Amino acid sequence: MQLQGEEIIESRFCFCYTGKWKACAFWQKEKERRQGWREQMKRSGRMLPVLLVVLLGLAWAYAGDSPTGTDGSEPAAFVQSVDPVGPDGREQADGSPGAGADLLDTVLALSYSGEPCCEINGNVPFFTDSEIGTDEFEKYAELDGLGRCGPAFANISPVTLPREERGSIGQVKPSGWHLVKYSGVVEGNYLYNRCHLIAFELAGENANERNLITGTRYLNVEGMLPFENRVASYVKETGNHVLYRVTPVFAEKELVARGVLMEAYSVEDKGEGICFCIYAFNVQPGIEISYSDGESRLATEDSFGFPDAEESVPPDSVEKDVQTVYFLNTNTKKFHRESCESVRDIKDENKEVFVGSRQEVIDRGYEPCGRCKP
């Protein structure tokens, strides 16, 4: 991968997960890089100017107790802004494009070349001295004007790990969401997953719409999961804290993120156990994705970008299902519309939310409610 005019991004690929962790060619230099960064972090007030630009752009994510800007306004998602835009897509009063634009331009210029992720900033996260500590916290940005997630930031420790079984998240529809199958092309058939920014195994967040994005199966399993598992294992084994931030990267007003920036740093051992800063691509090999709205099609050898809607003919192997939210009564085996008055009479222990087609509910052994006639 060749990048010109940018020094903050290193084009060498990071770890790839193939059942075990395997070091890439540059891994032998990792220890030297970490040591250099630790020395740099000790020099208060001497961070590189280019990092200051990024940190200003991300400052709202961890300033104070709520994810708001310094003026009290809701922050925008982490997006590339060619024209100056605010959280709702309108021009900001000061006409500025937003901090961190240079980094975003560079990240968005990266091209997927067969590996699920690549190293950013020499694998060094952008945390500041003031952020590094042992106080547990979780912060999730408010959705922006387009319904998109912003950065999710937490200090992971044994305290934040889940205490309960994971529940249903099917009721959440992240920006750009589509339920679409590519049988025999995508593992598990479904193209998209509801991807947690901060994994359930790290913070126990379940159906939090501010923590779920539309991500490919490939992003979820090959790109993010190996790093999530690594952090979870480290915390369980050591009891230490890990600063952890995941930032979805959107281009302009697109509804599906192009990828996610993942940062992590183990606090007590000053990065010896965990230290990474990577960008994971939201792609699916063999599938072309329209990031503006989440539409997709099978990739072809002669295709150069996503076609216009009238030119696109879904292949036979693609099954698009109509999604509906139903409330199930697991005791009576009846299913109801969301608006049905009978829903409020269902006991919590017998109530289940299901998102899918009417036939799928019937196939599961449920009968339609005679009152709302779903």
Residue from 47, 52, 37, 62 nearest 271 by CA: 37
Confidence band, pLDDT 50/70/90 cuts, at residue 88: very low
The pLDDT of residue 343 is: 87
Give the pLDDT band of residue 222 (cuts 50, 70, 90): very high
Compute the average pLDDT of residues 31-36. Answer: 54
pLDDT score at 355? 76
Residue 351 above 90 pLDDT? Answer: no
DSSP for 319-344, please give it. Answer: EEPPPEEEEEETTTTEEEETT-GGGG
Q: What is the pLDDT of residues 154-179, one digit of tens each?
A: 999 999 999 988 888 999 999 999 99
- Which carries the bigger pLDDT value, residue 122 or residue 65? 122
3-class secondary-structure state, position 18: coil
Q: Of 364 and 270, which is predicted with more confidence?
A: 270
Count of beta carbons in the 10 Å neighbourhood of residue 40: 13
**Whether the predicted pLDDT of 100 surpasses 60:** no
Q: Where would I find the H helices in the chain?
A: 30-42, 49-58, 101-108, 200-203, 217-218, 225-238, 358-363
Whether this prediction's pTM lies above 0.95 is answered by no
Say how far apart CA 166 and CA 196 lie, in whole Å: 12
pLDDT at 25: 36
Give the mean model confidence (pLDDT) for residues 338-351: 85
Provide the percentage of residues in the chain whose pLDDT is more than 70: 67
C-alpha span between 96 and 150 (Å, rounded): 19
Q: How far apart are CA 298 and CA 341, in angstroms?
A: 42
Q: Return the amino acid letter for 160.
A: T
Q: What is the pLDDT of residue 107?
A: 85
Lookup: tokens for 127: 């945390």
Q: Is the pLDDT of residue 253 over 70?
A: yes
- Return the higher-pLDDT residue of 24 and 92: 24
Mean pLDDT along residues 269-289? 96
The two tokens of residue 129 are 């001295």
Nearest to 124 by CA among 40, 223, 249, 53: 40
pLDDT score of 270 more than 60? yes
Q: Which two tokens stand for residue 221?
A: 């399993």
Mean pLDDT of the chain: 75
pLDDT for 101: 62
The yes-or-no verdict on residue 99 having pLDDT over 70 is no
- What is the C-alpha separation between 306 and 75, in angstroms, rounded? 30
Measured in whole angstroms, the distance separating CA 332 from the mean position of its chain's CA atoms is 37
What does the pLDDT read at residue 61? 42
Mean pLDDT of 40-66: 42
Domains, the chain, with CATH or none? 16-311 (3.40.570.10), 321-368 (no CATH)
Predicted confidence at residue 251, as pLDDT, reads 93
**Which burial class, exposed, middle or buried, applies to 349 when counting CB atoms under 10 A from its CB (0-12, 13-18, 19+)?**
exposed
pLDDT at residue 177, as a whole number: 96
What mean pLDDT is predicted for residues 338-347? 86
Q: Work out the pLDDT band at 325, boundaries 50, 70, 90.
A: confident
Contact 99, 54 (CB under 8 A): yes
- pLDDT over 60 (residue 352): yes
Which position has the higher pLDDT, 191 or 350?
191
Sign of CA dihedral 53, 117, 201, 357: positive
